[in-house]
Structure formats: structure tokens, C-alpha cells
Amino acid sequence: MTFWKGLRTSYGGSLAFLVVCPLLALVPVVFELLQHVAEVHIGMYDSVAAAKALEHHPLRMALGMVKVLALLVPTYWITRFVHTRDPRFAARRDPLAMRLFAGVVAIHIALSAAQLFGLPQTPGALLAGLAGGLIVQCLLVAWTVAATLGDASIGPVASVRIMARRLPWTIAFTIVAMLPLMIPHYVLGAAAIMAPRVWLWPILTVDALLVGWLCAVMAASNYVAAMRAIGLAGGTLRPAGVADVAGSTALTPYPG
């Protein structure tokens, strides 16, 4: 799997998920809109000064944690869909996979809480927190994917061993995969402040839809990075319930 083929797989898988599983894809969109409602309510888009002053408003920070959860939960559906391209497998509430994935969610919620509430609100500390969070995420991504698919053979320690040797590639791939959507996300945030008021909700709505796509791309790129590293380590995944999925692609994980 080359870098660019991985990007094509990530974006192709994310778009397929949005088309085939639109209701599941709307979960992060809804919560992004809820955060925007709160931001408008507290006056965050009134001016640049207001945006800076209200960046750490308690209501916004609380909803930020809810949004983290709303971005994490769809990872379960997206990863399972990208693996099989089967919407039934994606939405299936597999007991083992859900139990394993709950551990992944708990760890990532704790990391996000530490970043949001445990770090000094200085540029250096925030940048260090983002960098550290990205490294931890990349080291645990094999565990995340395995858990989502219901495979208990790769836990956190095994994930670190697998991903550590591929860490530079994984970090670069993760960043490059996000940038095409992350840049317009921040541009839309600035436009919501600078544009005439009549454009506020159209801009915020487009931004929320963009976040839904970004969520799918992030999960799909995590899957690609994890499967690449697992394959290079000589390993394989044995997802729970894949044998029950009908269709010629059910047993063909990771195209390429």
C-alpha cells in the first residue's frame, strides 16, 4: 500500500460510507450543529474579539467533550464499513466488538479531557498537547481498529509494538489525510465571524456537514494505517461476525 493509494482508499471509503449509511454519517453533523447553536448563543461569532474571549467558555468546553464522543462513536460504524463495504456489518451491534470498543472510547475520552482541561491555555502547551495526542492516537490505532472489528488479539501494548516501527509514516499519513478537509473547516470558522450575519447559519451548516465527512476520513485513514502496519508486522485480523456477512467482498479486508 503506497501513501497515495492509501489516501485514495481513505477518501473513497469515506465517501462510500456517507452515501450508503447517511443516517449514521449524520451523527457527528448533528452534534457539530449543537455546538454551533451554543456558540451563537454565547455570542462567539459577534466579532474576532468575542471569539477569542469566549473560546474557553464553560458551555462551549462542555459541548466540546460531547462532540469528542460524537466523533469517536461513528468510528465503530465507519471502520466496520470500510473493512467490508457492507452497511449491515457496519451497523451490527456485535457484543464483543462493542465491549472492546468501549475501552478505546474510554481511553480517548480521558486523553481529550486532559487536553481540554488539564493543560495550561498557552500556545506552547496547547501545541504540545496536540502533538502528544496525535502520537498516542497513532500508536494505539491498531488496537482501535482491531477492537472495532471485534478482534481481541491486539490490545494497547501490542498496538504500540506494531505501530512504533511505522510511526513516522502513520503520523505523516494521518496529517495529510486530514488537511484537505481541516483547512476549509478553519476557513469556514473564520468566515462565520467575518461574513455578513445573513451568511452565518449557511456557513455553520456547511461546516457541520464538512465535519461529518472529516470524521469519516479520519476513521478510514486510521483503518488504512493500522492495516498497513499490521500487515507489515506479519499479522492479520480476524473480525467477529465477518463470516456471516453476505457478498463477495465480505472476506476481502483492506483493498490492496
Q: Which pLDDT tens digit goes with each residue over 12-41? A: 999 999 999 999 999 999 999 999 999 999
CB 17 within 8 A of CB 220: yes
Tell me the average pLDDT across 200-207: 97
Altogether, the residues listed in the chain come to a count of: 256
Q: Is residue 29 part of a domain?
A: yes
For residue 241, what pLDDT band results from cuts at 50, 70 and 90? Answer: low
Q: Is residue 254 part of a domain?
A: no
Identify the residue whose cell numbers are 502513520: 170
Q: Is residue 238 part of a domain?
A: yes
Other beta carbons within 10 Å of 77: 23
User: Over 90: is that where the pLDDT of 248 sits?
Assistant: no
Q: String of b and e for 81-107 (b: at least 16 CB within 10 Å)?
A: bbbbbbbebbebebeebeebbeebbeb
Chain centre distance of CA 151: 20
Q: If 0-12 CB within 10 Å is exposed, 13-18 middle and 19+ buried, where does residue 168 land?
A: exposed
CB 39 within 8 A of CB 60: yes
Other beta carbons within 10 Å of 211: 24
For residue 250, what pLDDT band results from cuts at 50, 70 and 90? Answer: very low
**Which ranges in 118-140 belong to alpha helices (H)?**
123-139
Angle separating helix axes 156-164 and 200-232, nearest 10 degrees: 80
Chain centre distance of CA 10: 12
Residue 55: predicted pLDDT: 82
Residue 72: predicted pLDDT: 94
Q: Is residue 252 part of a domain?
A: no
User: Grid coordinates in use for 59?
Assistant: 458551555
- pTM beyond cutoff 0.95: no
Tell me the average pLDDT across 52-69: 86
CB 92 within 8 A of CB 67: no
User: Grid coordinates in use for 242?
Assistant: 465477518
Domain that holds residue 140: 3-244
Tally of domains in the chain: 1
Q: Is residue 202 part of a domain?
A: yes
Other beta carbons within 10 Å of 36: 23
Tell me the average pLDDT across 194-217: 97
Across all residues in the chain, what is the average pLDDT? 90
User: Over 80: is that where the pLDDT of 245 sits?
Assistant: no
For residue 119, what pLDDT band results from cuts at 50, 70 and 90? Answer: confident
Q: Is residue 125 part of a domain?
A: yes
User: Over 50: is that where the pLDDT of 79 sits?
Assistant: yes
Q: Is residue 249 part of a domain?
A: no
Chain centre distance of CA 79: 10
Q: Is residue 213 part of a domain?
A: yes
User: Over 70: is that where the pLDDT of 88 sits?
Assistant: yes
